[in-house]
Amino acid sequence: MTAMSGARTVDLVYFNAGGGHRASALALEAAIARAALPWTVRRVNLREVLDPKDSFRKLTGMDPEDVYNKRLARGWTLGLAQELKLLQGMIRWGHAPLLRQLQQHWLATEPDMVVSLIPNFNRALCESLGSTLPGVPYVTVLTDLADHPPHFWIEQGLDQHLVCGSAKAVQQARAAGYADARIHASSGMLMRAAFHEPPRVDRAVERVRLGLDADRPTGMVLFGGQGSKAMLGIAKRLPETPLILACGHNAALARALRALPARAPRLVLEFTPDIAHYMRLADFFIGKPGPGCLSEAVQMQLPVIVVRNRWTLPQERYNAQWVREQGVGLVCSSFAKVDQAVEALTGQLGRYQEATRKVRNRAMFELPGILEGILARAEALKEESLLSVG
């Protein structure tokens, strides 16, 4: 990869709702550094831009992202499809003042490229950038396997580039009217470098050290950074199955899981930055069909058991279809019969593991080159324009 001359400032826009957008921003920042691109990378939390005086927290005692994250942890997701439409309506209703606020931000910060890792706000972000800093490229990196139209990831008629991590998302971008030159296919979702590195320890020895069984199929149960009370029901239904239960920031859930009786060995984890290490110790995955944890599990060659029902987040429902299409696991209507799903999966574990090995996600290595090309073309066009005027 040939580095461009001169330092450039690249802004990565994220927020903390769910945790996946921030994780993608961190992964992309690390990937850019790994590629040795001469860029100054700035992470931009959109909530802080839109609410710089922290008014929401002062009024309610918590960030708006915290409200969403607590709902995920407690499993209160049934009405989120309707609430999403309400949120999108409010964003469109407040488009003009939102545009003015973002225009002031871009004028003050003057990035050379903006990369969005969030949905819903891309029309306002893109239009505000284009009206204040013409020629500065705007890129939306989908951190879901596919869009959830309308007005979620792929807004029609914007002067932007789209990075799509699945064939489905590429098709959606074309259907929305984007030319192929504006659509950039990657081989999957962004993941941290740890998920691409070789194992550091002997798997069987490490299992025994942690109190797990060296040989019996072991499940990794993971519901994102906030955990989920659904993990309690799963653990109760699998007393004979060795499990690694990752609770993230949910310490209360970890305490409850440790208190449950079980006849098989269990390891209950609170927040750890080394989730890739623990995934390497497992044989299969149980959790929600979130794009991040699902991609990480498949990268670690863990066949998956996920649920798709009316409680599934609307933007994650396609992911269950992706699991079926790739043949990397089982999709259930609920976890009420998770014991039967585990029996079926482990009975054909080799076949499902072979399917995971066929999914080759190199997005971490692809994204820096994609972004470098977009920025180089934008600057070449700007230079041509200046020469034609001169």
Q: What is the mean pLDDT of residues 144-157?
A: 94
Same domain? 144 vs 232: no
> Is 3 within the bounds of a domain?
no
CATH of the domain at 349: 3.40.50.2000
Same domain? 215 vs 228: yes
Q: What is the mean pLDDT of residues 248-254?
A: 94
Confidence of residue 386 (pLDDT cuts 50, 70, 90): confident
Same domain? 349 vs 375: no
Q: What is the mean pLDDT of residues 61-66?
A: 50
Q: What is the mean pLDDT of residues 113-117?
A: 98
Of 315-319, 353-357, 362-366, minimum mean pLDDT range: 315-319
Same domain? 185 vs 209: no
Q: What is the 3-state secondary structure (H, E, C) of the chain?
A: CCCCCCCEEEEEEECCCCCHHHHHHHHHHHHHHHCCCCEEEEEEEHHHHHCCCCHHHHHHCCCHHHHHHHHHHHCCCCCHHHHHHHHHHHHHHCHHHHHHHHHHHHHHHCCCEEEECCCCCHHHHHHHHHHHCCCCCEEEECCCCCCCCCCCCCCCCCCCEEEECCHHHHHHHHHCCCCHHHEEECCCCCCCHHHHCCCCCCHHHHHHHCCCCCCCCCEEEECCCCCCCHHHHHHHHCCCCCEEEECCCCHHHHHHHHHCCCCCCEEEECCCCCHHHHHHCCCEEEECCCHHHHHHHHHCCCCEEEECCCCCCHHHHHHHHHHHHHCCEEEECCCCCHHHHHHHHHHCHHHHHHHHHCCCCCHHHHHHHHHHHHHHHHHHHHHHHHHHHC
Same domain? 15 vs 108: yes
CATH of the domain at 36: 3.40.50.2300
Same domain? 352 vs 383: no
Percent of the chain exceeding pLDDT 70 equals 90
Same domain? 185 vs 201: no
Count of domains observed in the chain: 2
- pLDDT of 21 reads 87
Confidence of residue 269 (pLDDT cuts 50, 70, 90): very high
Same domain? 116 vs 144: yes
- The tens digit of pLDDT for each residue in 172-182 reads 999 999 999 99
**Domain containing residue 265:** 194-357
Confidence of residue 63 (pLDDT cuts 50, 70, 90): low
> Is 2 within the bounds of a domain?
no
- pLDDT of 26 reads 95
Q: At residue 141, does pLDDT exceed 70?
A: yes
Q: What is the mean pLDDT of residues 64-89?
A: 61
Q: What is the mean pLDDT of residues 8-37?
A: 91
Q: What is the mean pLDDT of residues 47-68?
A: 60
Q: At residue 352, does pLDDT exceed 60?
A: yes
